Amino acid sequence: MNERQIDDARNFLQAVVSALGRDDIGVGEVSQQDGVIYFTLTRGHFTEKGQIPAELLADRQRALAQMNGILLKLSKKIEGAHIAQAIQAAE
């Protein structure tokens, strides 16, 4: 992928993340190899690596479904940290 294609893929992935209601999560590093898009989602110091088939860049609905599962993993990390902080504050 050239730099323009990487930027386009990042913008597409960010739009999908936003469409799933997570404007607080950003798309970081993006690369492509063998028909697969590899990327990193970030929120503060939390990160989650993900991958989707490059063909999903042309199918927003399928991309939404795929990204939802990856976002859930990151959301669980964030939620776990918030719960731990709340427990620690209550002690």
* 46 DSSP β-pair partners: 43
State the CATH number of the domain containing residue 56.
3.30.160
**Positions in the chain short of pLDDT 70:** none
Distance, CA of 53 to CA of 38 (rounded, Å): 9
Host domain of residue 77: 3-90
Taking a C-beta distance cutoff of 8 angstroms, is the pair 78, 43 a contact? yes
The total of structural domains in the chain comes to 1
Question: What pLDDT sits at residue 54?
Answer: 93
Question: What pLDDT sits at residue 79?
Answer: 87
Q: Which residues are CB-contacts of 20 (< 8 A; sequence separation ≥ 6)?
A: 64, 67, 68, 71
* 49 DSSP β-pair partners: 40
Question: What pLDDT sits at residue 82?
Answer: 86
* 42 DSSP β-pair partners: 26, 47
Question: What pLDDT sits at residue 88?
Answer: 87
